[in-house]
Structure 1
Amino acid sequence: MWALRRASNPLRYQGFSVGTSRACCAKSEIPSSYLQDKAVDCEHPQVISDRFLSIERFHQTARRFYQTTHVSSKLYIGNRSLSSQAGAESSGEEDDLEDGFSELETPASAGSIQDSNAEDGDEDGLISELDLSDGDDIQEPLQNELELSDTETDPSEKRLPKRRALSELFKAIMATSGLSVHSALDKWVEEGKDLGRSEISLAMLNLRRRRMYGRALQLSEWLEANKRLDFVERDYASRLDLIAKVRGLYKAEHYIEKIPVSFRGEVIYRTLLANCVVANNVKKAEEVFNKMKDLNFPISSFACNQLLLLYKRLDKKKIADVLLLMEKENVKPSAFTYSILIDTKGQSNDITGMDQIVETMKAEGIEPDIRTQAILARHYVSGGLKEKAEAVLKEMEGGSLKENRWACRALLPLYAAIGKADEVGRVWKCCESNPRIEECMAAIEAWGKLKKIEEAEAVFDRMSKMWKLSSRNYSPLLKVYANNKMLTKGKDLVKRMGDSGVQIGPLTWDALVKLYVEAGDVEKADSILQKAAQQRQMKPLFTSYMTIMDQYAKRGDIHNSEKMFHRMRQAGYFSRLRQFQTLVQAYINAKAPAYGMRERMRADNIFPNKSMAGQLAQVDAFRKTAVSDLLD
């Protein structure tokens, strides 16, 4: 692993400092969705050598990297770190997951219940966008269900997940009018039906796969209140996870105090940590991190990975510190650790460094999985290395595409990204006779990238005949229309959604915003977003705000740029570097000074990188120039 310390190479050290507080990690298999940020690298004069270092020599790298800083395992996330707050926002890059895989650390299987096909979550048209309001640019918004096994599952066992019948209890819950789960459960018991742990677990899994966390929480509350299940630590952890998703981190943290002390173990806190990462709340994640160390929980790669993926989005220079902690505590990196660092290198346009991490990964006996290969291919495409990207795609296919069917979902948009229409057609032909809903969505996206609108529409029509669609299933075609400035068709599709009784939510709003922006009607897009934000149960995606703010900034419209900045705050998206970069650009384009901008950033614990410093210099009302010096 330790050569992957190079992953932090372009991030330059401004990391952790030693203090009296202790920080540590604990093992978990709770997945946390993270949407990466493509912020530029932070600069610092102390730079680790670009020379590739082997695993055995990592400790030398660490010492060289931290030339002036003493580091111990009792790490204190100090300085500006503890005051950093990411709030509830996610990143703003919409193409981060276009390979078709959300970047979740793969959890282990929960008991004998196997992970279902992605289409299981849509087959009854039960997915609601209500559960997506916490994210931003989610192309693949499914989150894995909470699974808390102590062992990791072999990736090969996940390739062809078996289709699973729906729980009878789940069906009874869904058949109940309104949103009250309690009445359905009361009736279930009155009829003398089985309410054993296996039936409960399957029903809970069905609800989670559909992101119906509110109903899942009601189920958990009813079971405990009616003493129908002897709660153990994992049951309390499941409740904690649901509370965090439905009611927020504050309520979840408060719930921990109600859990019996004997069950308040590592699983509980790692669940909270994972949800802090989901919420992109750096301050709270670091507090939980320190708490776990204080409670003497063991360090694990999972909890370290949680920090890695959080810092990859929000504070990349801290990645090196987490890796150093892992080295100090002899925490062996997992495949997901490598995946995070490969992506970090790719985002920094360091293709050489990315390849070196892959070599290190293989040297450790870990072969890149489909997700990691898709990340590699995407960054090769971004770097203009189409031949290397195609070589990776062929590796993903393996000897037979029919045998490696699980790869089709990622292959379709990636082949489209390198302009290989014939390859897209070939892969789709493999799926066409018996397509899965996620493959259909990937095919729509792929044909859209290739400007083959009719092919995309044909796949959508087939999908609509096979399944009762949710708003998430409409999203790819809406994006195709938006990217191709087909406003009329986009509006017609939204009308079709409404006529079909599909709930309109954040994904649809985001597509509509982009539709109108691409059509040049920014004011209409702004109006749609404002109306969407007034719906209390759901909030628009981060990218919806940024799409409009970017347009105002291009115009040099300071007033509306500041307005969007403020509205993001109101929606719960705390300030980040990207927002300030766009805001300052509005002042630059307006040729107006930005008074107090540095102070505003400092108040939000945002520190400029090299690029941002250049922007600030342009809007500094008090900067000295050759002319001003003469006049003075």
Structure 2
Amino acid sequence: LNMNRNIFLRSTRPTLASICRLFSAATMDPAAGAVVKTRSGGGGGAATDKREARGASVAGGRDTLGGRLLSLMYTKRSAVVTIRKWKEEGHSVRKYELNRIVRELRKIKRYKHALEICEWMVLQEEIKLQPGDYAVHLDLISKIRGLNSAEKFFEDLPDQMRGHAACTSLLHSYVQNKLSDKAEALFEKMAECGFLKSCLPYNHMLSMYISNGQFEKVPAMIKELKSKTSPDIVTYNLWLTAFASGNDVEAAEKVYLKVKEADLSPDWVTYSVLTNLYSKTDNLEKAKLALKEMEKLVSKKNRVAFASLISLHGNLGDKDGVNLTWKKIKSSFKKMNDAEYLSMISAVVKLGEFEQAKGLYDEWESVSGTRDARIPNLILGEYMKRDEILLGEKFYERIVEKGINPSYSTWEILARGYLKRKDMERVVDCFGKAIDSVKKWTVNERLVKEVCKELEEQGDVKGAEKLMTILQKAGHVNTQLYNSLLRTYAKAGEMALIVEERMAKDNVELDDETKELIRLTSRMRVTEISSTIS
């Protein structure tokens, strides 16, 4: 085992590069992993300096380094400058204190300041960093500067620091970036080197497989985990989620019993998964019981659970539960976050309380600066669902005026609204904008079929050709789409020219229907559109 480990530490660069192009020179950021002294950003002025110097109130208002760092109000402000000033005032800086502050900053997603602290610690000769410190550092680099920089940082680590902690952190980055091949290659190499010492890397892999819908890989991963170490509650929750995704109540309940047998305490996630499963499978009494158990475990310490609570009450049609949970959140926190508004607005829309939903949106718009398009999309979607197209268009104009960039879902919602009105020119226009709004389009087969069907019924050759151009650009053309185009020409009584040549250019094969449609349309009239295409 030691020999394997040493081989891994000496040969990480070439081995992983050949397996999964981990450290490809073409993708490396040459500045990655370098320790940078961050200058203080502008903005805020003297008043901000005073507020930050006073710091967050800790233990009755004591001035602490943690308080100062946690109260930095702008990302442009420098954690390094704050630490330096603290030292200049004669205070000491201890590693354990900085580690605690980094943990707190990560919890509240203040990754930039956390990274600055890690980089400052690397420069201090008197601070002896451990493998876990570098693992945290790597994770923060991945979040702030991207995966290429994180890989470069990993490559440049001292051999003795490139062990299971750093590898697990890199594995987590691969999973978060949905890089299955790299994750599996690294996991395999970690297994060879004896780095699978805890359930954490297994949990990362389980999370990836579940996210990708690769549920068939879950049992083998669980079995391997059990042969090496003991599952924790996160493992069991992921296992539950896998069965819940397939609505397998019996299997999920067996996993829940295993939690009890393992002498582990179910957490709020456990009961959230069970509540959702029971709700989907119409086991309403069991769902209510599971939800009650979940509520016992929800507190200010696990704030993220509140959004889940609202959604689950909404799924059960429990209007009082939704409103009581919202009231509890408001009494517990000074400001609601986007996830909570998203869950609340979604729940009340589902419960038919659209006026309440619009009021909540107005509230969110007045207090949030995130411009998260998911939240207005809920209101826009309901307008379109109600066939209130003019009000929906007016609302769309409002969100654009507020500086909210339309997302893929925004355009898809508009496209579906116009599709109900059979306004195909606008449908195709919105469809094109939807695809243009994302780097890689995940094909929505159902929407494509619905749009094609309506274009066929209207004999809208111009719209069908425009749709074909959009789908060609997105790399999604096939025999069925060409057949739909030909049926549209046939409906319009027009000849479709050079279809076989176009299909050959797109590497699309003709089937029997294609040949018959070409024969049928060849006897029809040539129009301006078909001439233009040719």
Q: TM bucket by the smaller chain? A: 0.5 to 0.7
Q: Pick from 550, 563, 568 the counterpart of residue 473 of structure 2.
A: 563
Matched letter for residue 69 of structure 2: F
Matched letter for residue 322 of structure 1: M
2: CA distance, partners of 1:317 / 1:252? 30
Contact 1:167/1:206 (CA < 8 Å) preserved in 2?
no
Counterpart in the other structure of 1:78? none
Within-5 A mapping of 1:107-506 = 167-170=66-69, 174=73, 178=76, 195-197=93-95, 200-201=98-99, 203-205=101-103, 207-225=105-123, 227=125, 229-314=127-212, 315-327=214-226, 329-398=227-296, 408-435=306-333, 437-438=336-337, 439-461=340-362, 469-472=369-372, 475-485=374-384, 486-496=392-402, 498=403
Using the TM superposition, give the Cα deviation of residue 289 of structure 1 relative to its aligned residue in structure 2, in angstroms.
Answer: 1.0
2: CA distance, partners of 1:386 / 1:586? 43
Matched letter for residue 256 of structure 2: V
Q: Secondary structure at the match of 2:343?
A: helix
Contact 1:277/1:285 (CA < 8 Å) preserved in 2?
yes
1: CA distance, partners of 2:302 / 2:140? 34
Using the TM superposition, give the Cα deviation of residue 355 of structure 1 relative to its aligned residue in structure 2, in angstroms.
Answer: 2.8
Q: Do the aligned partners of residues 622 and 475 (structure 1) sit closer, same or farther apart at CA in structure 2, a change above 3 Å counting?
A: closer
Q: Secondary structure at the match of 1:257?
A: helix
1:513 is the counterpart of 2:414:
no
Contact 1:266/1:297 (CA < 8 Å) preserved in 2?
yes
1: CA distance, partners of 2:147 / 2:500? 35
5+ residue gaps, structure 2: 6-18, 23-47, 49-63, 385-391, 419-425, 453-466, 488-498, 517-534
Q: Secondary structure at the match of 1:437?
A: coil
Q: Do the aligned partners of residues 398 and 350 (structure 1) sit closer, same or farther apart at CA in structure 2, a change above 3 Å counting?
A: same
1: CA distance, partners of 2:218 / 2:278? 22
Within-5 A mapping of 1:32-51 = none
Q: Secondary structure at the match of 1:552?
A: helix
2: CA distance, partners of 1:322 / 1:429? 42
- 1:155-204 deviation line (CA, Å, top 9, x unaligned): xxxxxxxxxx994443685457x577666666666666654435534553
Contact 2:206/2:238 (CA < 8 Å) preserved in 1?
yes
Q: Secondary structure at the match of 2:407?
A: helix
Higher radius of gyration, 1 or 2: 2
Within-5 A mapping of 1:581-596 = 586=481
Q: Secondary structure at the match of 2:229?
A: coil
Contact 1:223/1:229 (CA < 8 Å) preserved in 2?
yes
Using the TM superposition, give the Cα deviation of residue 267 of structure 1 relative to its aligned residue in structure 2, in angstroms.
Answer: 0.8
Q: Do the aligned partners of residues 209 and 420 (structure 1) sit closer, same or farther apart at CA in structure 2, a change above 3 Å counting?
A: same
Contact 2:268/2:297 (CA < 8 Å) preserved in 1?
no
Q: Do the aligned partners of residues 398 and 584 (structure 1) sit closer, same or farther apart at CA in structure 2, a change above 3 Å counting?
A: farther
Matched letter for residue 205 of structure 2: L
Using the TM superposition, give the Cα deviation of residue 489 of structure 1 relative to its aligned residue in structure 2, in angstroms.
Answer: 2.6
Matched letter for residue 395 of structure 2: K
Using the TM superposition, give the Cα deviation of residue 407 of structure 1 relative to its aligned residue in structure 2, in angstroms.
Answer: 5.5
2: CA distance, partners of 1:594 / 1:212? 56
1: CA distance, partners of 2:232 / 2:170? 21
- 1:473-492 deviation line (CA, Å, top 9, x unaligned): x7435423334423423442
TM-score (norm 1): 0.54
2: CA distance, partners of 1:407 / 1:214? 25
- 1:318-370 deviation line (CA, Å, top 9, x unaligned): 2232133234x253222222222222222223233323332333343345322
Matched letter for residue 474 of structure 2: M
1: CA distance, partners of 2:182 / 2:300? 45
Q: Do the aligned partners of residues 355 and 527 (structure 1) sit closer, same or farther apart at CA in structure 2, a change above 3 Å counting?
A: same
Using the TM superposition, give the Cα deviation of residue 285 of structure 1 relative to its aligned residue in structure 2, in angstroms.
Answer: 0.9
2: CA distance, partners of 1:84 / 1:588? 41
- Larger mean CA deviation between 514-523 and 369-378 belongs to 514-523
Percent identity reads 24
Contact 1:276/1:282 (CA < 8 Å) preserved in 2?
yes
Matched letter for residue 560 of structure 1: I
Q: Secondary structure at the match of 2:266?
A: coil
2: CA distance, partners of 1:194 / 1:168? 15
Counterpart in the other structure of 2:496? none
Q: Which has the higher helix share?
A: 2
Matched letter for residue 324 of structure 1: K
Q: Do the aligned partners of residues 286 and 190 (structure 1) sit closer, same or farther apart at CA in structure 2, a change above 3 Å counting?
A: same
1: CA distance, partners of 2:301 / 2:134? 40
- 1:93-143 deviation line (CA, Å, top 9, x unaligned): xxxxxxxxxxxxxxxxxxxxxxxxxxxxxxx9xxxxxxxxxxxxxxxxxxx
Within-5 A mapping of 1:52-71 = none
TM-score (norm 2): 0.63
Matched letter for residue 155 of structure 2: E
1: CA distance, partners of 2:274 / 2:157? 43
2: CA distance, partners of 1:515 / 1:402? 35
Q: Secondary structure at the match of 2:307?
A: helix
Q: Do the aligned partners of residues 386 and 590 (structure 1) sit closer, same or farther apart at CA in structure 2, a change above 3 Å counting?
A: farther
Q: Secondary structure at the match of 2:317?
A: coil
2: CA distance, partners of 1:391 / 1:172? 41
